[in-house]
Amino acid sequence: MAAPMSWRRLVYSVYPPAIAGVFTRISDRIFRARDRRGGSSVLLLAPLLAEADPAPRRVSRPAGSAGAQGTEGLCGHFRWMAEHVPAFRVPGTHIHILTSPDQFYQTMKARIKTAKRRVVMASLYLGTGQLEQELVDCMEDALQRSQDNSDSPDLKVSVLLDYTRGSRGQINSRTMLLPLLQRFTSQMRVSLYHTPDLRGLLRLLVPQRFNETIGVQHIKVYLFDDSIIISGANLSDSYFTNRQDRYVLLENCGEVADFFADLVEAVGDVSLQLQPDNSVTMLEGMVHPYKGNRQDFSTAARKRIMEVVNTAQMRQQLTNRPEDSEDEGLSDGGLSDGGEDTWVFPLVQMKPLGIQVDEQVTQRLLKDAGPNSTVFLTSGYFNLTRAYMRLVLGAGAGYHILTASPEVNGFFGAKGVAGAIPAAYVHIARQFYNQVCSLGQQERIHLHEYHRPEWTFHAKGLWYYLQGKDRPCLTLIGSPNFGYRSVHRDLEAQIAIVTENKALQSQLQEEQERLYQRSTEVSSSTFEQPDRHVKLWVKLVTPLIKNFF
């Protein structure tokens, strides 16, 4: 049995004919042998490659866009976001930028201990070390206290994780949470999202170590009553100690917290439910993600999740009626009412389910970034989609892009195929840098590498500086990496914060500068260093790595 024709077409769409011919001949032998005893995980993933985006090209900014910097207030620049998502107005004084893994960890522990109504945790996985156990112990203490104390008898704890990552190994996220589920069954919920794309023969063939590459639950939301942390950090010891990420605490922001609690509940409703005996079941009436019809699951999941977004938007439209304000509550004058000088826009991206709000908003932001404005963009895994890359290369704004140097890449030193990932990202960065140079954009687009001994780098997001301003007025912060996986494979969520609050703008500026102070700017000589040599086989598999890691 030769490799399927769809696989052949996809390979030829990614690689030159000579290289594609080698891959297809190899895959033909694998398919004929039907060897399921540990074949190449990379080749097993290859049939899922999506059609490549069109090649990058220059694009012009449309007339009348928000790129006309300095001529309008923040409302004029960003009111369009409310057409896509709810817009929550909050006091800027209620938003705090956390700066370190330890501060993130200690804040979570403290908030769990004082929670009275709800604790909601959404992450890729929960680690199995001592620090993670202390976090679980905090949940146990809070639940026990709620049973003993009449002041908080209704405390509920809900945890949403990815099924594949959370089930890996004999000791895993599930076994960490089982004691709580067994002891506080009526107060505890553990949901395990399973992508509908990992099913059938693929689910049997892809090794456990690599099955998460097909698609995961990647949202990072940590909620305690009416306060919430939005981050890109997982619940694992390195994220509490020496893995640099970004974290923002929204304190006493009830509407924002309600939205994300509802969002996590909706994703949980379409996920597998962990039972006290460590089995999993689906809620009654819900389509199974990998046993049921794929389209039926995606349709049902999209409907359930978009109910949250649409309900929040409808509620705001009823509250901010058009006759009250021509901007439906987003006027400049209304921003400062009651100290509510900041907007929070929740952005959700779940393309396997047909939801692509974050992608639409991010593309509009990149497109509208006008001349003399500045965008600082960071990603632990620099792998812009073709669409994002095209917009960056064709925009008028100045860009400073921060990514991980090889030694702070989370895969540095890993075994097997994963160990080649840092080198693949070096190759991706060099390709991008060469494009910048070929277009003569070196003065406008700058690439930086983060360095920090004994640390890894996982920060992601952007900071947007309007023309003539020394502080950012907008930031994106959350789980997306701006890469292919974030846009096409995983469940992601982040927030856009737009603020006129000077103190909050200063916090954002300090956060951005703190990260970039540990970086060096990339030049052509960077790629000539001995440790930046990329082997030929790594270059050949880089298109696969771009799509799956």
C-alpha–C-alpha distance, residues 224 and 109, integer Å:
10
The angle, 0 to 180 degrees and rounded to 10, between the axes of the packed helices 536-548 and 421-438 is 90
- What are the pLDDT digits (tens) for 179-224? 999 999 999 999 999 999 999 999 999 998 889 999 999 999 999 9
Q: Which residues contact 257 (CB under 8 A, 6 or more apart)?
A: 223, 225, 226, 227, 228, 250
Predicted confidence (pLDDT) at residue 542 exceeds the cutoff of 70: yes
The one-letter code for the residue type at 515 is L
Instruction: Assign 49 to helix, strand or coil.
Output: coil
Which of 173, 198, 176, 178 minimizes the C-alpha distance to 189? 178
The per-residue pLDDT for 45 is 39
The per-residue pLDDT for 479 is 97
Averaged pLDDT for residues 8-19: 46
Predicted confidence (pLDDT) at residue 8 exceeds the cutoff of 50: no
Contact 218, 490 (CB under 8 A): yes
Angle at 377 (CA atoms; ends 363, 419), nearest 5 degrees: 105
C-alpha–C-alpha distance, residues 350 and 298, integer Å:
10
Contact 494, 230 (CB under 8 A): yes
Q: Could you tell me how far CA 210 lies from the centroid of its own chain?
A: 19
C-alpha–C-alpha distance, residues 191 and 539, integer Å:
38
Averaged confidence pLDDT in the chain: 86
- A 10 A CB-CB count for 201 gives 10
The per-residue pLDDT for 334 is 39
Contact 51, 13 (CB under 8 A): yes
The one-letter code for the residue type at 301 is A
Q: Which residues contact 215 (CB under 8 A, 6 or more apart)?
A: 195, 197, 198, 352, 485, 489, 490, 491
Give me the residue label for tokens 């995606």: 298
User: Sorting pLDDT into bands at 50, 70 and 90, what band is 546?
Assistant: confident
User: Sorting pLDDT into bands at 50, 70 and 90, what band is 453?
Assistant: very high
Which region, left, alpha or beta, applies to residue 157 given φ > 0 means left and ψ of -120 to 50 means alpha? beta
Predicted confidence (pLDDT) at residue 518 exceeds the cutoff of 70: yes
The per-residue pLDDT for 49 is 41
User: What is the maximum alpha-carbon separation in the chain?
Assistant: 72
The per-residue pLDDT for 154 is 87
Distances from the Cα of 36 to the Cα of 39, 40, 41, 203, angstroms: 6, 10, 11, 12
C-alpha–C-alpha distance, residues 540 and 23, integer Å:
10
Instruction: Assign 361 to helix, strand or coil.
Output: helix
As annotated, the active-site residues are: 218, 220, 225
Which of 508, 537, 532 minimizes the C-alpha distance to 409? 532
Averaged pLDDT for residues 19-37: 43
User: What would the two tokens of residue 447 be?
Assistant: 């690439």
C-alpha–C-alpha distance, residues 449 and 250, integer Å:
29
The per-residue pLDDT for 395 is 87
Predicted confidence (pLDDT) at residue 16 exceeds the cutoff of 90: no
Q: What is the CA radius of gyration of the chain?
A: 23
Q: Rounded to 5, what percent of the chain is helix, strand, coil?
A: 45, 20, 35
Averaged pLDDT for residues 12-20: 47
List 88's β-bridge partners, or say none. Answer: 344
Predicted confidence (pLDDT) at residue 28 exceeds the cutoff of 80: no
The per-residue pLDDT for 187 is 96
Three-class HEC string of 362-374: HHHHHHHCCCCCE
Q: Could you tell me how far CA 424 lies from the centroid of its own chain?
A: 20
- What are the pLDDT digits (tens) for 228-280? 999 999 999 999 999 999 999 999 999 999 999 999 999 999 999 999 999 99
- What are the pLDDT digits (tens) for 311-358? 999 998 887 665 544 444 455 443 444 578 999 999 999 999 999 999
- What are the pLDDT digits (tens) for 88-143? 999 999 999 999 999 999 999 999 999 999 999 999 999 999 999 999 999 999 99
Predicted confidence (pLDDT) at residue 174 exceeds the cutoff of 70: yes
The per-residue pLDDT for 55 is 41
The four Cα atoms 525, 527, 532, 535 give a dihedral, to 10 degrees, of: -140
C-alpha–C-alpha distance, residues 309 and 362, integer Å:
17
Q: Could you tell me how far CA 291 lies from the centroid of its own chain?
A: 27
User: What would the two tokens of residue 134 be?
Assistant: 């202390």
- A 10 A CB-CB count for 288 gives 15
User: Sorting pLDDT into bands at 50, 70 and 90, what band is 72?
Assistant: low
User: What would the two tokens of residue 230 be?
Assistant: 């939005």
Higher pLDDT, 60 or 211: 211
Give the total residue count for the chain: 549
Q: What is the DSSP string of 64-126?
A: TSTTSTTSS-HHHHHGGGGGTS--EEE-GGGEEEE-SHHHHHHHHHHHHHH-SSEEEEE-S-B
Predicted confidence (pLDDT) at residue 2 exceeds the cutoff of 70: no
